[in-house]
Amino acid sequence: MFAAARKRRGFIFPPYVLLLFPAVLFMLLIYAYPFISSVIRSFINKKGALSFDNYIKSWNLYLKDILFTFSITIFNTLASGTIAVLLSVYFRLHDSVISRFLINLYRLPIFIPFVVVAQMMNGFLAPHGLLNIALAQLRLIDLNNPLQLFNFIGLSFGFIWKLAPFTILIIYGGFQMIDNSYIEAARSSGARRLNLIIRILIPMNKPSIMVALVLIYSQIVGTFTLPYMLIGGKIPTTITVDIAHRVNYFMDFGVANALGVFSYILVFVTAIYYLKTKVREVK
């Protein structure tokens, strides 16, 4: 009876769709519920009424940090992407002892967690850390006036050190998928290295490059440990540090959620692009 009714409406519900249930349930519980609940709570003020109070407060207090987060995300995404593309091209086009050594070496930082990276960077970038001492030994700086790196520069150093290898992993994988004949066809057509890279290799590997950029972009927006341990409560800092600050010191979940929504907005466009690319790949 139900089957007939469904057929009349042109709707067929194949039973194997049920196989999706565990995965969908997991997504709903772990991702969708906290997301929707934080969006709703960001619109509820301390009196329990619907309002934009949390957003106004976030905007007034943390605009600098939102812009800082956005700029550090964009800068590090592009910097990691550029380094990754250059190294991946080098790996793809050169087969030498150095390239083989680097291919084995570059993967190591992927397996080191952010908290360890942050601790390493703390020691390395500190006013009397390894970098400053090394530069002083080379007489490039005076150790009484060391480089201050617990800021945009130090954070970028940490992000690039940690994320460029992950980016290389994806982008180099894409370059490896390009058959040699495409490269040889370009070279026999007269293309030198730069044209080969810009006009053939990068366009042919555009999907991998974009996916890698989207993934590290989202990762940078959401990273807490590295900015927390390197910059902490200094101004400007990142949204994630502000969220922790709001919750730990003020128990202010409303503003924390509003800041969370800002970070969602930062990754929203890239997430749509990522999904579209994946859907196209499946098709």
Partner 1 sequence: MSNLKLISIQKNYGKVKAIDNLNLEVQDGELVTLLGPSGCGKTTTLRTISGFLAPSSGEIYINDRRITDIPPERRGIGLVFQNYALWPHMTVFQNLAFGLQMRKLPKDEIKRRVKQRLETVRLEEYENRYPRELSGGQQQRVALARALVLEPDILLLDEPLSNLDALLREKMRFEIARIHKESGVTTVYVTHDQTEAMVISDRIIILNKGRIMQQGKPEDIYENPANKFVASFMGNTSFINGTVVDFNGKYTGVKTGDGLTIYGIGRKVEKGENVVIAVRPEDVQFILSPGIRREMKSNNLFSAKIERESYIGEVVDYQLKLKSWSIRAKSAVSNKMTEGEIVKIYLDPDKMPILSE
d(CA 26, CA 120): 35
Q: Which is nearer to partner 1, 206 or 276 (CB)?
A: 206
**200 is an interface residue for partner 1 by CB under 8 A:** yes
Axis crossing angle, helix 53-93 with helix 239-250, rounded to the nearest 10? 140
Q: Taking contact as CB under 8 A, which single stretch among the options 64-72, 76-84, 123-131, 200-208 is the one that binds partner 1? A: 200-208
Q: How far apart are the C-alpha atoms of 71 and 56, rounded to whole Å?
A: 21
Using CB under 8 A as the binding rule, whether residue 187 contacts partner 1 is answered as yes
3-state secondary structure 140-181: CCCCCCCCCCCCHHHHHHHHHHHHHHHHHHHHHHHHHCCCHH
The nearer residue to partner 1, 103 or 191, going by C-beta atoms, is 191
Of these, 22, 104, 190, 251, which contacts partner 1 (CB under 8 A)? 190
Q: Least distance to partner 1 from the beta carbon of 178, Å?
A: 10
Which residues touch 122 (CB under 8 Å, ≥6 apart)?
A: 129, 229, 230
Please check whether residue 34 is in contact with residue 47, taking contact to mean a CB–CB distance below 8 angstroms: no
> 172 is written with which tokens?
């180099």
Measured from the CB atom, the residue of 57 and 187 that comes closer to partner 1 is 187
Q: Which of 201/267 has CB closer to partner 1?
A: 201
Between 7 and 276, whose beta carbon lies closer to partner 1?
A: 276
Residue 248 contacts partner 1 per CB under 8 A: no
Q: Site for partner 1 (CB under 8 A): which residue of 204, 215, 244, 271?
A: 204
- d(CA 154, CA 229) in angstroms, rounded, equals 11
Q: Considering the rule CB under 8 A, would residue 191 count as an interface residue with partner 1?
A: yes
Whole-number minimum distance, CB 181 to partner 1, in Å?
A: 4
Q: Nearest Cα to 175, choosing from 283, 86, 77, 56?
A: 86
Q: Using the rule CB under 8 A, which residue among 61, 179, 232, 265 binds partner 1?
A: 179
182 part of the interface to partner 1, by CB under 8 A:
yes
Nearer to partner 1, 60 or 181 (CB): 181
- Minimum gap (Å) between residue 276 Cβ and partner 1: 17
Q: Which phi and psi angles does 50 have, rounded to 5°?
A: -70, 130
Does 142 bind partner 1 (CB under 8 A)? Our answer is no
Determine contact, residues 138/123, Cβ cutoff 8 Å: no
Assess 181 for contact with partner 1 (CB under 8 A): yes
Backbone angles phi, psi at 44, to 5 degrees: -105, 125
Q: Count of H helices and E strands in the chain? A: 15, 0
Beta carbon of residue 204, minimum distance to partner 1 (angstroms, whole number): 6
SS3 113: coil
Give residues in contact with partner 1 (CB under 8 A). 179, 181-182, 184-192, 195, 199-200, 203-204, 206
